[in-house]
Structure 1
C-alpha cells in the first residue's frame, strides 16, 4: 500500500529528501506522494523513512492504494531496474 500525506502536513521539508524513490514532492498546499513511485521503502529500508522523520505523524497508509509486500517489492525492482 502506498503512503499518503494528510492535511496535517506543516511543510517542514524533512520527508522529501528521505524518499529513496523520489515519490514525495511539494504540492499546491502540502507535500504529496506519487503512489506509482511509493514502495513504503520496501527494498531500501525496513521502515518508511518519511514516516520515521515526520514530526507531526501525518503520513499514513493510503487506503485507496492497497498493495502487498510482494507488489511493493516488484514496484521497487521496476523503479530501480537499470540503476547503477
Structure 2
C-alpha cells in the first residue's frame, strides 16, 4: 500500500471537502467553529497536510451538510496509486 497523504484519493478527498464547503457558503472559520476546532485545522486538512480519518469525515459531513457516502463513492472510483 502506498502512502496516502499525497495519493490521488487524498487529493480527491481534500478537493471534495473544499468543494462542498464552498457550495454550502461556509468559510473555513465557520466549519472550524462547528467542529469545535481552530480554523488552522480546517486549513491543514484542505491544504493536504493532514489526513482525515473516518470519524473526522463524518464530522465534516455534519458540519458542512453533505452525505459522507458521496465522498466515499467519489474516492472509490479513483484507482489507488
TM range (shorter): 0.3 to 0.5
- TM-score with structure 1 length normalisation? 0.36
Instruction: Name the structure where helix makes up a greater proportion of residues.
Output: 2
Instruction: Name the structure where strand makes up a greater proportion of residues.
Output: 1
